Structure 1
Amino acid sequence: MDLDLTSVLVMTALTVSVSGAVFITDTVVRRDDAVGRIWAGAFLAGPLALLAFLVWAQERSAWWAVAVGNAAFVSTISMMWLGCRRYNERRMAVAAAGVVAGAVLAAGAVLVAGPDGGDWAGARTMYLLLTVFGVLGCVECLRGALRATRVAWALAVVLMLHSAFCLLRLVVFAVAGPDSGFFETWLSTIPASFVTVILTIVALVTASVLRAGRVPVRGLRSLSGARGRTAAEMARATGADSGVLVAEQFWIALQGLLTRASWHNELVAVFAVRVDDLQRIATAFGTEAAADVARAWRQSVRHHVPAAARVGEDGPSALLVSTVVVSAADARRAAERISQGAFEDLRTVPGAVLPTVGVGVALTDDQGWDAAALVACARAASVGGEAIADAADGLDPTRP
């Protein structure tokens, strides 16, 4: 098949642009979420890269377009990795600086070569950066909360294959040059465009599914509403005393509990309880059905936690619980009560669709008195639970 460069670039740009538009539009109709915003940036950088390369293909005097394209292409992969780090609740400052540095290096390599750099100006630097960020993204998909989400495995595989492709391009480019027959046939811009299309489609599907599990559409708000609302305001919004603290209030209460418990060397347990199917229920049966399930689930969690426990918001489909326990076995029994209680209570909701509920536990014996570490471990343990009736079957409260 004889394909010309301009046609392939146009079709690739069209595919990447449509995919980016779909994801960004979906981001607009959902509540703000840092992961979604970062990935939206990646889907914006992709069309920019293809547009820049298309400009270069049409006007060879516009050598600066290669610098823009290389930097945008590197940003696409690096921001996918950055979004995965944010999904796993990992530190972002150094990683974000690395993303910016990668884009600057990719553009700088072309600018240093200048107008005489030709078609492949800065190619080695770009291939190296794409390989590094692709491997980092693959590793991030296989750790933390993403590791328990099987859809992230597909993204990990594609990122690894893309990294292998870029590494092969780098090696062949350095050894045989871009004019070699092998490079022109298998590793030039045209085959690379097909690889880009595959990566874009898989990234769109996986990112959309992963984001859907974190953020509801605007019609399916968390029952507590906006940040900063008091318990009384929440009660008025839901028509009953929800007994669930907003996130800021819960974190203040948790820090106070940890401080007091440390004075007496008491054991504190943090439970993360999440429901994974609200978005699917809303899509299949309507937002009203999903809201009924969410309301019953929240009331059930509050009913079955220990009497002295504090329950707080942790996003639209998760709750956090903190309490003092006697032992790890006591924490396990509490988790089982929450899981089994939720199952029984949701069965009584008329027309309810039983969602998947995960319960994770973190103990100060293992994680110390750091509130952030306890919550992160409990969240990670709650992801990817079994069916609601069996959510606590494999729970080890001594393990994050």
Structure 2
Amino acid sequence: MGLDLLSPARWGNPELIMEEAFRITLAIAVMGISLRLPRAFIRREWRTLAILLGVLMPLTALVSGAIAFGVLELSLLAALLFGATVTPTDPVVASSIVNGSAAKKNLSPNVRYLISAEAGSNDGLAYLLVMLPVLFMTRSGDSAVGVWLLDIFLWKILGAIVLGVIIGAVAGRLLHHAEDRHSIEKSSFLAYTLALTLLVLGGAMLIGVEEILAVFVAGVAFDQFVGAQERAAEKNVQEAVNSFFTLPAFTLFGLVIPWDEWLRLGWTGLLVVVAVLLFRRLPVLLLLYRLSPSLGWRDAWLIGWFGPLGIGALFYTTLVVGYIDEGALIWTLTSMVVFASVLVHGLTASPLARRYGRAVA
């Protein structure tokens, strides 16, 4: 950006470029997460995940929206939209936090899997929260509620779950059948999960269901049919593919950072960033963790803090930025929060993981 050698504005529509790049990156990331989770983890931890996704996620959106509404001159619906876009924890950044050597040494597998599972699933489910204020901005009240229930919830979300289960299960059975008949080489498997990701992503977009959720569910369904040897291969190839897509995506973000708009917001923008990072998740989870059978107060502190923002928040912002007049301000705010989250959560991941490890030892 400083040398003006790469400018997405000269490549075409920057919002469309970012949207598609972030969509593919998210799909690859959530597939990788779904394949790293133990087979029975979601079934075993369904109560905790229900709290994280069904209670914490909407409350996170409300808290973030309230902060923006109270500090900046945003309309109520625009503030709620901002709150929704910064709700999903990022699977890309979360993977780097829970897979590092410090995390594996100091964090229990259950905590690491909870952070990963939440990040993988809430990127798709956040679509419910993002589209609700958008519909109220573009339609009448009764019409907005009806469209949200029928089109967004019943078709896009539940349809994505059904599509993911069907394609993932069929793909898993086909691979298992091919291996039983010795008609597939081990090296052939390395491209299988990537092909599955792109198949589900494209199929979901063609029929109009939520594509990121569909990919995550497909990975979970597919994982039920593969053995330990294949799971090791999946992890290796997915980590390599994640890096291949993640690094360019964050480079693209670096190229489009709106520095001038950040400076114009000044101290009010910085206040929103600090307040969102401190209060969007941690206080809420400290109030909720007792409802979970598997979370202690130390787990709540850790999971409440490590709710990193990244590609997921940027994707939803580019998706809806053209719907409203305040879209440019929402993009500016979201990019500031994401930038700060990547720095702060990245720098605190290892020290806090070691401190957590010493506390529970």
TM-score by length of 1: 0.26
- Where is the strand percentage greater, Structure 1 or Structure 2? 1
Specify the structure having the higher radius of gyration (Cα).
1
Q: Which has the higher contact order (CA 8 A, sep 6+)?
A: 2
